[in-house]
Amino acid sequence: MGSTAQPLAVPQPRAIAPLPTRRAPRPSNVTLKFTMALTGTVFALFVLVHMIGNLKVYTGAANFDDYAHWLRTLAEPLLPYEGALWIFRIVLLAGLVAHVGASAILVVRARRARGRFRRTGMNWRRLPATLMPWTGVVLLVFIVLHILDLTTGTRPIAPQSFEPATETTSHAFANLVASFERWPMALFYIVVMVMLGLHLVHGLWSLVTDFGVSGRRLRQVWAAVALIFAAVVMLGNITIPVAVLAGWVS
């Protein structure tokens, strides 16, 4: 009696469950970096123009006070007194919120991605980049104190002799000199300007990457521009408290 061969059972392939997909974070890192680059450009131009205006202190009290008064009456009568100044302040405040917010999100994401590992072998060229979050915090504190000192005249930050501006007069020169005659405030300003220089040199250098520039030659030229720009703003501002303490501006 012959036997019939049974067909071999062919195992069926098991269904493979699709790997879970992780949704891309919102806003994206590209968007955050572009936001920082754009607002950083605005702030870099602002500190340059602000430094140039501050250097008018060397032209004497009358010229410096006239410049401060002109800022408050700019675009009158189209705008009310201090109207243009408040527009600038609102734009800068919005940019500051966007800049700080984007920076904080990127720092948190970078630390989560890095985990417990830390970079080693850092050299001095990486110092501005390493210190960016810390110089940013110092500058944020300085902005608040600077406004309390020379804009609102809030004591004890501002000097006792602070006089607020009116619609007809400005006392910007006397207020500035009185503030920097206090050596702790002058020293604090100098230290912050060094922090600003470090923040600027790396921030401006990062613009070429954030805006998608990849040419080696252009990146080298821009690195030099960033260094010169940061040095000019830093040293230009530092000369003012030094001149006040030395008695050259009084």
State which of 22-36, 61-75, 193-207 shows the largest mean pLDDT: 61-75
Q: Which residues contact 238 (CB under 8 A, 6 or more apart)?
A: 189, 190, 193, 194
Give the residue, 211 or 159, on which the prediction is more confident: 159
Q: Which pLDDT does position 24 carry in this prediction? A: 66
Q: Say whether pLDDT at 15 is over 70.
A: no
Q: Say whether pLDDT at 1 is over 60.
A: no
% the chain with pLDDT above 90: 63
Average of per-residue pLDDT across 129-149: 90
Q: Say whether pLDDT at 20 is over 60.
A: no
Choose the weakest-confidence range: 26-40, 66-80, 122-136, 226-240.
122-136
Summarize pLDDT for 105-126 with one digit per residue, the tens. 988 887 777 766 555 545 556 6
Average of per-residue pLDDT across 167-174: 94
| Residue 18 pLDDT grade (very low, low, confident, very high; cuts 50, 70, 90) | low
Q: Which pLDDT does position 119 carry in this prediction? A: 56
Q: Say whether pLDDT at 160 is over 80.
A: yes
CATH architecture of 29-115+124-246: Up-down Bundle (1.20)
For the chain, the average pLDDT equals 87
Q: Which pLDDT does position 134 carry in this prediction? A: 87
Q: Which pLDDT does position 215 carry in this prediction? A: 74
Write down how long the chain is.
250
| Residue 50 pLDDT grade (very low, low, confident, very high; cuts 50, 70, 90) | very high
| Residue 30 pLDDT grade (very low, low, confident, very high; cuts 50, 70, 90) | confident
DSSP 3-state assignment of 175?
Answer: helix
| Residue 9 pLDDT grade (very low, low, confident, very high; cuts 50, 70, 90) | low
Q: Which pLDDT does position 113 carry in this prediction? A: 73
Q: Say whether pLDDT at 35 is over 70.
A: yes
